[in-house]
Chains A and B, each alone.
Chain A
Amino acid sequence: MQKPQISGNRISIPSNQEFLSDVDMFIEGILRGYGADESIIADIAISVSELVNNAIAHGNAQNDSKKVIVEIGKNTDVVTISVIDEGVGFNPNTLADPLAEENLLKEVGRGIFIVKSLMDSVDIKPSPHGTKIIMTKSIK
């Protein structure tokens, strides 16, 4: 299995949860360099971990040979992060409501909802060649 590859503001990992902490350290390091406060760093780190988990487990179906790519950038005080997988896409409108009574005690199904709650914007772009999710958050 390949190891994580870092190039500038981009990290690429094989689709295996053992690399979640590599992505986390990469993202948090860059955010601290941007001067973000710790609470915002945590919100962004949680959101990135949600999407990377989904990309590994669902997008790339735990296939080690497929990659998850995370890119981060900043424009004035707004951070933009993209998480990209090599799967077949999905329909975000089919996600169940985790706040519905019948779903409250389900162990899964909250990831995207949490991301949308913590980030300022979330744009999901599925395609037959993979899904790209772009999220933004102001760090001022």
Chain B
Amino acid sequence: MKLTDRVENEIVVLEPKGKIMGGPDASLLNDKIHEYIENNRKKVVIDLAKVEWMNSTGLGILISGYTRLRNHEGVLKLANVTDKIQSLLTITKLVTVFETFDSVDEAIKSFKK
């Protein structure tokens, strides 16, 4: 898995690419989320357009970021959730936890409401 990240108008956008299945690559995403939280960033969007699939380790990373941000009065949102990941969010009921958007732009705009 590869990871690119940027900050757009104080909103962190993370773009993992590949499969999130565990191992050292998964740690990369987890560590980056937590690094931004440590640097006091409170708004994070994870763009999942280029994630082929993830397993429960990937879901755990999303949950970890979500809860840690929430504990710091921040918010994590998901954009471009693929059908495969959407089905995993549904069967695990995590669809009731995460806000999802059809594009990064929509996710970013939602922070201004």
Contact = CB atoms under 8 A, between A and B. Distances in A.
Contacts, number: 69
A18 B63 CA distance: 22
B74 interface: no
Interface residues on A, range: 20 to 34
Given A105-B97, A107-B64, A108-B60, A17 B84 contact: no
Interface string A42-76: 10011001100100000000000000000000000
Interface hub of A53, A98, A106, A107 (most chain B Cβ within 10 A): A107
B37 interface: no
Nearest to A47: B55
A62 to B, nearest CB: 12
Q: Is the interface of B mostly helix, strand, loop or mixed?
A: helix
29 contacts: A17-B22, A18-B24, A20-B23, A21-B21, A21-B25, A46-B21, A46-B54, A46-B55, A46-B88, A49-B22, A50-B55, A53-B21, A53-B22, A53-B55, A53-B56, A99-B92, A99-B93, A104-B94, A105-B63, A105-B67, A105-B97, A107-B60, A107-B63, A107-B64, A108-B56, A110-B60, A111-B56, A114-B88, A114-B92
Interface of B: 19, 21-25, 52-57, 59-61, 63-64, 66-67, 84, 88, 91-94, 96-97
